Amino acid sequence: MSAQGKRLLLNGNHAVSYAVKLAAPRVIPVYPITPQTPILEKITDFLADGEMDAEVMTMESEHSAMAAAITASLAGVRVFTATASQGLLLMHEMLHYASGARAPIVMANVNRTLGSPWGFWPDQTDSLAQRDVGWIQYYCENGQESHDTTLLAFRVAEQAMLPAMVIHEAFYVSHALEAVELVSPEQAASYLPPFAPLHRLDPLIGESWGNTVSQQMFQDHRRDLGEAMEGVAALAKAADRELEALVGRGYGIVEQYRCDGAELVIATMGSMTGTARDAVDELRSEGVAVGLLKVKLFRPFPATDVRELLAGVPKVMVLDRNFAPGTGGFLFQELKSALYGMRGAPPIHGYLAGVGGTSISPAAIKELARGALAEEPSANSVWKG
Amino acid sequence: MLQFIIQGRGGQGAQTAGNILAEFFFQEGRQVLAYATYGGARRGTPVSSSLRVDDKPIRMRCDIEKPDAIVCFDPSLLAGTPVLKSASAETLLLINSVYPAERFAELGVKRVVSIDAKSIAKSHQLGAMVNSTLVGALLGVLAYGNVALLRKVVAETSPVKAAENVAACLEGYRIAREGGASHV
């Protein structure tokens, strides 16, 4: 058994940086943006102190940072980058390219509101708007989970040969100081093997990427990409089990919390999960049978697991700290789609709660849950924030 | 659970004060969750730091609705801002001001302690950096006894002038514990 890691007081961003140090990427192309910048700052501290050896490339934009990340990854080295909000959106074109090139980059994204108007608040719309770009997406509840998930993401990304995002929210996680138990260097070394891809860009080998292809080749390539994504759920579960065996902390790809005999299950992602745990505990102590479903892996969406876990549940209430005008909350949409056609599928209340970073307390969630138990759900998301 | 809100303006060190307090309670072996929010990310705009302390892991991630104490770095924040919206009869309001607590009676908060942190900081060659003094004052007014740890944590977390910060912190602690109001 490897030595236990140190326990430090860290904010969520620095918890990611410590995991990046353990993963030891060779190239880190970045462009700073609030509230991501502390991730980069801590990494450059590690470099200055000689605790890390990587090439940090400060690019002229996020688009260029992702372009550099792709090419570095294709050269056969482990690559990390981080961004947020507008920066993630500027990368959009290159995000598609990264998955198409099968470059297993790991990127931290700190959820922040999108302009206009301007803000720095926790809201998941930035990363959820990238749900169709072929990246694995993990949503984290706290700094500990962000630390552990960064290592998980490298492992799964490099097995599936797909890029992965590790996502947490501005302030509530990114700038929240709390105790984090680090994975030890010995544990990390046994968990994450060196990155050694079958193919890489090297003038001595003479491989190339991104050539013009025929329609059939393009379709075959997209199908391969889809199959790789479909395989992620199993890889992610295995990687999670092994991490739990090693460090004693496991998360699953979805988590059920106190769902036994629940009349209502609250479904949510990210930092709202912690607040919802308090609400569930209080409701249970008041005799109201409410449980919680936390969706950690959002891409690929764990539809099979969600169908199993929600089978027989009388009602579901989704809390979305995100919003797509015209369709509503993203998790609400995905859950409805996952449960469609299931015999006895539960009716779902879709609540927009915490959009723009508005504060949602345990008391507010309790009130929403009591309301959802008494009301008929609407087909569309309902504003409750 | 203990809940504190620290309100200042960008550049005054309110976020750092929250971090020092978080480190203090963490080293004491308690569970903490502290974060700062800032709207403008620039000097002079309101910055709020929230700190929760408990004996079990803290899971909720939302604004503090019922603070045990509010530390106000700048009394100009008290007028026309939502600093006091969460204050209840039990809330302690610690204000950095040259004026005595009675001056703030109109705020309607029962427990107000005023401390001239600016003068204390200045007397310890800290210029306008009042955060170490106010950290000490908050723990003093709560009569929080672990002064040895406070001394250690402030020294460890001071980027410069560790001895001066410790001295200012302990003076803030002493005056606040005696009821505040070190006023000329």
Share of chain B above pLDDT 90, in %: 66
Give the pLDDT mean for B30-54.
85
Q: Which residue has the higher pLDDT, A31 or B79?
A: A31
3-state class percentages of chain A: helix first, strand second, coil last, to nearest 5: 40, 20, 40
In a domain? residue B159: yes
Closest approach of chain A CAs to the CA of B97, in angstroms?
Answer: 29
If pLDDT is split at 50, 70 and 90, which confidence band does B39 have?
Answer: low
In a domain? residue B106: yes
pLDDT greater than 90 at residue B44: no
Spell out which chain A residues touch chain B, with contact meaning CB-CB distance below 8 angstroms: 9, 11, 34, 119-120, 142, 169, 171-173, 175-179, 271-272, 274-275, 277-278, 359-363
In a domain? residue B88: yes
Task: Tell if the CB–CB gap between B60 and A119 is shorter than 8 Å.
Answer: no
Q: Which residue has the higher pLDDT, B11 or A22?
A: A22
Nearest Cα residue to A344 out of A370, A307, A374: A307
Give the ipTM: 0.93
If pLDDT is split at 50, 70 and 90, which confidence band does B81 have?
Answer: low
Task: Tell if the CB–CB gap between B41 and A361 is shorter than 8 Å.
Answer: no
Task: Tell if the CB–CB gap between A361 and B36 is shorter than 8 Å.
Answer: no
Q: Would you say the CATH fold of A256-383 matches that of A7-246?
A: yes
In a domain? residue B136: yes
Task: Tell if the CB–CB gap between B60 and A275 is shorter than 8 Å.
Answer: yes
Q: What is the pLDDT of residues A117-141, one digit of tens each?
A: 999 999 999 999 999 999 999 999 9
Give the pLDDT mean for B91-120.
91
Residue A1's pLDDT is what?
A: 39
Position A72, amino acid: A
Residue B71's pLDDT is what?
A: 96
Of A275-284, A328-337, B96-105, which range is least confident?
B96-105
Domain that holds residue B110: 2-177
The total number of structural domains in chain B stands at: 1
Residue A17's pLDDT is what?
A: 98
Closest approach of chain A CAs to the CA of B100, in angstroms?
Answer: 34
Mean of the per-residue pLDDT values of chain B? 90
- Interface size A-B, in CB pairs within 8 Å, comes to 67
Question: Where does A256-383 sit in CATH, by number?
Answer: 3.40.50.920
Residue B41's pLDDT is what?
A: 59
In a domain? residue B166: yes
Q: Which of B58, B59, B62 sits opposite A361 (nearest CB)?
A: B62
Closest approach of chain B CAs to the CA of A354, in angstroms?
Answer: 10
Query: Token pair for residue A285?
Result: 């102590």
Give the pLDDT mean for A174-181.
97
Distance CA A211, CA A352 (A): 43
pLDDT greater than 80 at residue B181: no
Q: Which of A9, A171, A173 sits opposite B23 (nearest CB)?
A: A9
pLDDT greater than 70 at residue A108: yes
In a domain? residue B182: no
pLDDT greater than 90 at residue B12: no
Q: Which residue has the tokens 């940072």?
A: A65
CA of A154: how far to CAs of A6, A299, A353, B43, B158, in Å? 21, 15, 31, 38, 36
Most B-contacting residue of A6, A8, A9 (CB-CB within 10 A), to test interface: A9
In a domain? residue B98: yes
> Any idea what DSSP says for residue A79?
B
Of A93-97, B82-86, B171-175, which range is least confident?
B82-86
Residue B184's pLDDT is what?
A: 41
A372 exposure class (CB count in 10 Å sphere: 0-12, 13-18, 19+): buried
**Which sequence spans correspond to the domains of chain A?**
7-246, 256-383
Position A79, amino acid: V
Of A50-54, A349-353, B99-103, which range is least confident?
B99-103
A113 to chain B: closest CA residue: B39
In a domain? residue B184: no
Which residues in chain A have their CB less than 8 angstroms from residue B67's CB?
Answer: none
Q: Which of A142, A177, A360 sits opposite B32 (nearest CB)?
A: A177
B33 to chain A: closest CA residue: A178
Distance CA A181, CA A179 (A): 7
pLDDT greater than 90 at residue A263: yes
A144 exposure class (CB count in 10 Å sphere: 0-12, 13-18, 19+): buried
Q: Which residue has the higher pLDDT, B129 or B89?
A: B129
Q: Which residue has the tokens 């939502």?
A: B82
- Contact (CB, 8 A) for A199 and A37: no
- The CATH number of the domain where B100 resides is what? 3.40.920.10
Query: Token pair for residue A315?
Result: 């009602």
DSSP result, B91-111: -EEEEE-SS-GGGGGGG--SE
Closest approach of chain A CAs to the CA of B123, in angstroms?
Answer: 31
Q: Which CATH architecture has domain A7-246?
A: 3-Layer(aba) Sandwich (3.40)
Task: Tell if the CB–CB gap between B38 and A120 is shorter than 8 Å.
Answer: yes
Task: Tell if the CB–CB gap between A275 and B61 is shorter than 8 Å.
Answer: yes
Distance CA A320, CA A295 (A): 12
Residue A11's pLDDT is what?
A: 97
